[in-house]
Structure 1
Amino acid sequence: MLEAKEYAKIFADRIAKGAFLTTCDGQKSDTMTIGWGSVGYMWAIPTVTVMVRQTRLTKENLNQVKSFTISVPVDDSYKDAIALCGTKSGRDLDKFAAAGLKCKASKAGTTPVIDGKGLLQLECTVLYERLMDVDALAPELKDKWYTGDTEHTIYVAKITDAYLD
């Protein structure tokens, strides 16, 4: 497992360019693009915090299986796949096939990771989830990100493994 400061730096440097958040409902995997998130240390363990909108297939999967993986590209070689997975729904197509991606078993084996080189892999187990209260958000952020769209559920998850492929 990578040391926390190693994967935290990669995550912080690359998350705004997009990463893959992969879930599995026990049978079928799906991935979506995330561009927001943070890595930290809560409850005396390494954690990642991500947000998923209520309307996403990923949210449905997380309701069933409380684990996910994040595959963070360390360069721009996954740019097109990140773009596709951020604009299409897994309800409508197989995003893996459409984006030219493949999955492989994660080390824990619960939820797969994106198979490829140049990816920081974070295996995560949900510790806490909460529907955000957009009325508690600063008005300028609420007006920019939550006009007529659904709120996010905020997930804090334990990082059970972190490694570079």
Structure 2
Amino acid sequence: MKKVDFSQVLNDYNKILPKGVFLTTKNDGEINTMTMGWGTAGFIWNQNILMAPVRKSRHTHQLIENSDYFTVSVPLNGQLKKELQFCGTKSGRDYDKIKELDLELAEVKEAEVPIIKGNDLHFICKIKYQQDMLKEKLDQDILDKKYPDKDMHTFYYGEVVAVYKEE
């Protein structure tokens, strides 16, 4: 793997994000990953930032709440579709997704949270801010369509402390 600049891969990330990427976190020795299909990437507070939305009902939410970091692993070339499907429909409460899918993890020096090998890009993010969505502040149309059961997201803003590209 080689370290690359955030700005070099931002367009690729934004193109692939709607198809799904892996958001991984770790707390108290437990590692979990989930599929993330939307979020934002950009420049806030003079820092490169990825914003990761996680619904409060998700197992990942429990873990990321007690972590300082998350990683985002991005399959740019259509690989790992079955794994993304599984991680987007199965809960870490019921499955050890890493074991179940035989995903290979790799440690990174910047954080205790690993990356998922076999992806093309990896973002290591230090959580700088988080905010719970307030349904009272959300447009009614979005609330009705996207949150019929009022299972809101928490937004995690992570400073991108490193980006790696698999070769």
Per the alignment, residue 46 of structure 1 pairs with 48
Contact in 2 for aligned 1:10/1:120 (Cα 8 Å): no
1:162 aligns with 2:163: yes
In structure 2, how many angstroms separate the alpha carbons of the residues matched to 1:6 and 1:40?
12
In 1: Cα distance, 2:55 partner to 2:91 partner = 12
Select the residue among 5, 8, 11 that pairs with 1:6: 8
Matched with 1:112 is 114
**Contact 2:50 / 2:159 at 8 angstroms: preserved in 1?**
yes
Cα offset, 1:22, TM superposition = 0.4
* Conserved? CA contact 2:111–2:124, under 8 Å: no
Matched with 2:128 is 127
Correspondence list, 1:15-30, <5 A: 15-30=17-32
**1:60 offset after TM fit, Å?**
0.9
* Percentage identity across paired residues of the two chains: 31
Show CA shifts across 1:27-69 (max 9, x none): 1210000001111001111000110011111111112112100
User: Residues 112-140 of structure 1: CA distance to partner in whole angstroms, max 9, x if unpaired?
Assistant: 00022x42100001000010112212222
Cα deviations by residue, 1:80-131 (Å, 9 ceiling, x for unpaired):
1000000001111111122231211023141000022x42100001000010
Is the 8 Å Cα contact of residues 135 and 150 (structure 2) preserved in structure 1? Answer: no
2:141 corresponds in structure 1 to 140
Counterpart residue identity of residue 50, structure 2: V
CA contact (8 A) 1:80 1:99 kept: no
TM-score, normalization: structure 2? 0.93
Count of aligned pairs between the two proteins = 164
Aligned partners of 2:140 and 2:8: how far apart in 1? 35
Contact 1:81-1:100 within 8 A present in 2 as well:
no
Unaligned stretches of 5+ residues in structure 1: none
Alignment-mate amino acid for residue 6 of structure 1: Q
Alignment partners' CA distance in 1, 2:36 and 2:76: 15
SS across alignment from 2:108: coil
Equivalent-residue separation in structure 2 for 1:142 and 1:85 (angstroms): 24
Runs of at least 5 residues in structure 2 that lack an aligned partner in the other structure: none
Q: Which residue of 2 aligns with 1:102?
A: 104
Distance apart, 1:78 and its partner CA = 0.9
2: distance between equivalents of 1:119 and 1:68?
17
Q: 1:75 aligns with which of 73, 77, 81?
A: 77
Q: Structure 2 matches for 1:81-100, cutoff 5 A? A: 81-100=83-102
Aligned mates of 1:52, 1:155 — CA distance in 2: 8
Q: Distance in 1 between matches of 2:87 and 2:17?
A: 15
Q: Which amino acid aligns with 1:136?
A: K
